[in-house]
């Protein structure tokens, strides 16, 4: 589930710059030969004039915007755990989705259920039959906007809860609000606090007083060592952008500031629990030389670049002003982890003679590390930056290609796949009692298959685009193998072969099929829209102001008959003609992705077509394997995938200045025989060397 966007608070920089020893400018450090403090072995730099391969689009001159990219929760945790390895909390409840937690008070963050902070309020409206089309929260906090387009807060429908749910950071104070349900205003049935609305009815009322709340309310929110970002606000996602790393939506609220400071305090306490392992000297003989050595090492790893002399001196001065080595180290760790230079990924660069900015070697290292590993640069990558290996376009691409040999690449690829396919929360799905074999174990295996398939193909198999869509083998657990009806021996996940006449690639995975279905039946609409938006990058026309609801399904009616009846209404046909012919092709798969031969007793007709694909009036198919073959061979689908990888890398939807680079990447993807491994490496490398606007 993707929660709606949250309101932003005051900028973080002004507050944190007052508490951090930050240098002037954007945080770019000179890369010439300085000691990076990591102790890494120097690696070969190669010859900058070697004429090696360069990232696609290196000839593109249109500069892209400079950016300060706030670390996402997953990036923050990977960064912190690389700095200070933390212990697992055996008492934490593991999860893969919010619905496995107490949804009204908790969120699934970093794999465990975490209490929401005081100011993160959850709105819930029960709707077990999913009878409503839209629910919006309107109140004094958003100008009483009654629609999402005007600034109202739309809720998302969560199948597992049978309810509309949304989480929002709300400032302290007295707030009045209502739900707008399919255009009708009503009070919140879960809130007994009301006041007159002035027009003969009532408003629901919230009284929030979170500033200075006692520890019992949310003061212990960061006490899970393994998941230091568990109390951070959930990232908002703008329409059409499925990823958590959106630059524009990375806005800092007062809740962010509070949680960053608390997390830093917790991490510092953990790090200083073993001073002998932390400091480069005997704690009993702690002196300025030890302080400077510690700052040089820890600071370079925290800020992902060497510290300048004035920075090193300032941090060392702060350490020496404390009483005792433990306090000195803890104070500097807290300051570093609260610094904008730590919390933001810097993509600023230095303006050159041509009027555009070029990222320095350390900024390029950050682009490579977060793009291909989902975490910070390690000592070897920082050393590559220090020795000039990342100064040339050829060097950047060579480094990117090598980084996909590292096991850490699995992290970024699974994050991309789960967000691109929108299967992050498959494990929270619930189905009605007729699906007796659907349980938490099966749901978790569905989520794992959909999350890991891309990474397995890229890192272990042939890395080919066509394998995403046409492969008939997959890795599953025993319950999922039983749902697929294939032989399975043992309990550990293993590779199995699926019947090719029924299933092929991602489109036939149970996790994907279940994600785009209702709790009690299939959804050709959801499945068709998924193909259009996520796989073909084609927008769906906005619905009319008043959407006629699908009536009661008569016994014996098939999904195809129901949709034909619905789209006979001219108000519906204009939209449904785009996605119904696609979605009906999935009808052999029920609401949990299990094969079925009939619908309501009638044989299933799974034929369909994609309207207007690749210049054709329509591309016809007979079943899901046929649809998968069309997607695999479609230049539109191939370009869309390039766009999705570029969006994930850039943290934004494509802009005019991205057109040349995306064109070059698409052409290169074809020239590379649609090699997925090459695409990821070359897209991230291309973004690292792209010129920035001044």
- Of 95, 97, 116, whose CA–CA distance to 168 is shortest? 116
Contact of 5 with 238, CB cutoff 8 Å: yes
475 CB-contact burial (10 Å; exposed 0-12 / middle 13-18 / buried 19+): middle
Query: What is the percentage of the chain residues whose pLDDT exceeds 70?
Result: 83
Q: Is the pLDDT of residue 216 over 80?
A: no
Q: Between 419 and 3, whose confidence is greater?
A: 419
Give the helix ranges, DSSP H, for 21-170: 73-83
CA distance linking residue 44 with residue 380, whole number of Å: 11
Question: Quick one: pLDDT at residue 239?
Answer: 86
Determine the 3-state secondary structure of 500 from DSSP: coil
Instruction: Tabulate helix, strand, coil % of the chain (nearest 5).
Output: 40, 15, 45
Q: Is the pLDDT of residue 184 over 90?
A: yes
- Of 452, 443, 296, 442, whose CA–CA distance to 382 is shortest? 296
User: For 307-330, what is each residue's pLDDT tens digit?
Assistant: 999 999 999 999 999 999 999 999
Q: How many other C-beta atoms are found inside a 10 Å radius of the C-beta of residue 533?
A: 17
Residue 363 token pair = 């900024």
- Of 196, 120, 104, whose CA–CA distance to 158 is shortest? 104
671 CB-contact burial (10 Å; exposed 0-12 / middle 13-18 / buried 19+): exposed
Tell me the average pLDDT across 221-228. 62
Question: Quick one: pLDDT at residue 21?
Answer: 33
Domain ranges of the chain: 1-28+67-87+223-347, 120-170+173-208
Q: Is the pLDDT of residue 107 over 90?
A: no
Q: From start to end of 375-508, where are the E strands?
A: 473-476, 494-497
CA distance linking residue 291 with residue 284, whole number of Å: 13
**Average pLDDT score over the chain:** 85
Tell me the average pLDDT across 267-287. 94
Contact of 679 with 661, CB cutoff 8 Å: no
Q: Is the pLDDT of residue 646 over 90?
A: yes
CA distance linking residue 585 with residue 516, whole number of Å: 13
Token pair 């007709």 is found at 605
pLDDT band at 97; cut points 50, 70, 90: low
User: For 598-612, what is each residue's pLDDT tens digit?
Assistant: 988 899 999 999 999
CA distance linking residue 662 with residue 682, whole number of Å: 11
Backbone angles phi, psi at 542, to 5 degrees: -65, 145
Tell me the average pLDDT across 288-297. 97
pLDDT band at 89; cut points 50, 70, 90: very low
Q: Between 530 and 199, whose confidence is greater?
A: 530
CA distance linking residue 328 with residue 495, whole number of Å: 52
CATH 3.30.70.520 fits 120-170+173-208, yes or no: no
Contact of 301 with 38, CB cutoff 8 Å: yes
| C-alpha distances in Å from residue 476, one per residue of 448, 459, 598, 607, 664 | 8, 17, 26, 28, 37
Question: Quick one: pLDDT at residue 18?
Answer: 37
Q: Is the pLDDT of residue 226 over 80?
A: no
Q: How many other C-beta atoms are found inside a 10 Å radius of the C-beta of residue 603?
A: 9
Determine the 3-state secondary structure of 619 from DSSP: strand
Question: Quick one: pLDDT at residue 45?
Answer: 37
Give the helix ranges, DSSP H, for 201-359: 254-271, 275-278, 288-303, 309-320, 325-337, 340-343
Question: Quick one: pLDDT at residue 561?
Answer: 74
Determine the 3-state secondary structure of 478 from DSSP: helix
User: For 508-556, what is each residue's pLDDT tens digit?
Assistant: 999 999 999 999 899 999 999 999 999 999 987 776 666 656 656 666 6
pLDDT band at 386; cut points 50, 70, 90: very high
Nearest 5°: the CA angle 277, 282, 286 is 115
Query: Which distant-in-sequence residues (6+ apart) come within 8 Å of 499 by Cβ?
Result: 472, 485, 486
Q: Is the pLDDT of residue 39 over 50?
A: no
| C-alpha distances in Å from residue 550, one per residue of 147, 181, 427, 530, 569 | 22, 17, 28, 20, 11
Q: Is the pLDDT of residue 507 over 90?
A: yes
User: For 653-675, what is each residue's pLDDT tens digit?
Assistant: 999 999 999 999 999 999 999 99
CA distance linking residue 242 with residue 652, whole number of Å: 10
User: CB-hemisphere CA count at 13 Å for 534?
Assistant: 20
Give the highest mean pLDDT range of 97-101, 120-124, 149-153. 120-124
Query: What is the percentage of the chain residues whose pLDDT exceeds 90?
Result: 65
CA distance linking residue 60 with residue 288, whole number of Å: 49
Question: Quick one: pLDDT at residue 149?
Answer: 78
User: For 355-376, what is each residue's pLDDT tens digit?
Assistant: 999 999 999 999 999 999 999 9
Question: Quick one: pLDDT at residue 176?
Answer: 93
Give the highest mean pLDDT range of 18-27, 38-47, 72-81. 72-81
Contact of 307 with 295, CB cutoff 8 Å: yes
Tell me the average pLDDT across 610-630. 95
Question: Quick one: pLDDT at residue 363?
Answer: 98
Q: Is the pLDDT of residue 218 over 50?
A: no
Q: Is the pLDDT of residue 49 over 70?
A: no
Question: Quick one: pLDDT at residue 143?
Answer: 85
User: For 425-467, what is each residue's pLDDT tens digit?
Assistant: 888 888 988 898 898 889 989 999 999 999 999 999 999 999 9
pLDDT band at 3; cut points 50, 70, 90: very low
| pTM of the predicted structure, to 2 decimals | 0.76
CA distance linking residue 97 with residue 92, whole number of Å: 14
| C-alpha distances in Å from residue 617, one per residue of 73, 420, 575, 612 | 44, 27, 17, 5
- Of 536, 501, 516, 485, whose CA–CA distance to 642 is shortest? 536
């Amino acid at each position: 589930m993707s929660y709606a966007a949250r309101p932003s608070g005051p900028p973080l920089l002004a507050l944190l710059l007052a508490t951090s020893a930050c240098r002037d400018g954007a945080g770019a450090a000179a890369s010439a030969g300085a000691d990076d403090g990591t102790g890494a072995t120097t690696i070969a730099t190669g010859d900058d004039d070697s004429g090696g391969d360069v990232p696609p689009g290196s000839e593109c001159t249109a500069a892209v915007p400079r950016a300060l990219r706030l670390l996402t929760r997953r990036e923050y945790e990977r960064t912190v755990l690389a700095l200070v390895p933390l212990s697992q909390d055996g008492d934490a409840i593991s999860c893969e989705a919010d619905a496995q937690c107490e949804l009204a008070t908790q969120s699934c963050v970093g794999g465990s259920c975490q209490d929401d902070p005081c100011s993160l309020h959850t709105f819930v409206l029960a709707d077990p039959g999913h009878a409503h089309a839209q629910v919006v929260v309107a109140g004094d906090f958003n100008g009483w906007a009654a629609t999402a387009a005007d600034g109202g807060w739309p809720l998302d429908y969560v199948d597992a809860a049978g309810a509309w749910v949304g989480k929002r950071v709300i400032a302290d104070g007295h707030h009045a609000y209502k739900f707008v349900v399919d255009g009708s205003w009503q009070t919140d049935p879960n809130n007994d606090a009301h006041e007159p609305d002035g027009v003969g009815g009532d408003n629901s009322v919230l009284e929030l007083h979170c500033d200075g709340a006692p520890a019992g309310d949310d003061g212990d929110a960061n006490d899970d060592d393994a998941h230091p970002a568990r109390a951070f606000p959930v990232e908002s996602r703008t329409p059409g952008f499925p990823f958590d790393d959106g630059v524009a939506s990375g806005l800092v609220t007062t809740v962010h500031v509070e949680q960053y400071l608390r997390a830093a305090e917790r991490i510092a306490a953990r790090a200083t629990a073993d001073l002998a392992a932390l400091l480069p000297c005997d704690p009993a003989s702690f002196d300025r030389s030890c302080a400077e050595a510690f700052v040089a090492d820890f600071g370079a790893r925290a800020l992902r670049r060497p510290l300048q002399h004035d920075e090193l001196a300032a941090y060392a001065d702060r350490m020496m002003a404390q009483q005792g080595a433990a306090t000195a180290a803890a104070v500097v760790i807290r300051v570093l982890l609260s610094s904008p230079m730590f919390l933001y990924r810097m993509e600023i660069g230095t303006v050159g003679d041509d009027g555009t900015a070029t990222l320095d070697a350390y900024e390029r290292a950050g682009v490579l590390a977060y793009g291909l590993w989902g975490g910070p640069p390690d000592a070897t990558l920082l050393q590559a930056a220090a020795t000039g290996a990342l100064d040339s376009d050829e060097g950047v691409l060579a480094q990117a290609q090598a980084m996909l040999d590292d096991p850490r690449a699995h992290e970024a690829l699974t994050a991309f796949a789960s967000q691109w396919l929108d299967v992050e929360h498959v494990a929270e799905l619930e189905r009605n009692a007729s699906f007796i074999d659907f349980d938490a174990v099966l749901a978790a295996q569905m989520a794992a298959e959909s999350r890991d398939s891309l990474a397995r193909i890229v890192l272990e198999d042939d890395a080919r685009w066509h394998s995403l869509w046409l492969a008939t083998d997959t890795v599953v657990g025993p319950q999922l193998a039983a749902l697929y009806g294939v032989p399975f021996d043992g309990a550990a996940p293993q590779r199995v072969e699926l019947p090719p006449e029924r299933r092929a690639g991602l489109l036939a995975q149970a996790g994907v099929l279940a994600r785009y279905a209702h709790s009690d039946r299939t959804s050709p609409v959801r499945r068709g829209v998924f193909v259009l938006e996520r796989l073909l990058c084609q927008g769906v026309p906005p619905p009319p102001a008043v959407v006629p609801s699908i009536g009661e399904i008569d016994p014996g009616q098939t999904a195809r008959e129901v949709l034909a009846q619905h789209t006979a209404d001219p108000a519906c046909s204009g939209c449904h003609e785009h996605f119904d012919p696609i979605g009906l092709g999935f009808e052999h798969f029920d609401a949990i992705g299990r094969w079925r031969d009939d619908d309501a007793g009638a044989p299933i007709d799974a034929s369909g077509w994609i309207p207007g694909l690749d210049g054709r009036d329509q591309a016809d198919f007979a079943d899901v394997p046929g649809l998968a073959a069309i997607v695999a061979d479609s230049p539109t689908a191939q370009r869309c995938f390039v766009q999705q990888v570029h969006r994930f890398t850039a943290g934004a939807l494509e802009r005019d200045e991205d057109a040349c680079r995306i064109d070059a990447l698409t052409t290169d993807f074809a020239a590379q025989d649609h090699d997925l491994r090459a695409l990821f490496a070359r897209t991230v490398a291309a973004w690292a060397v792209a010129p920035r606007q001044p």
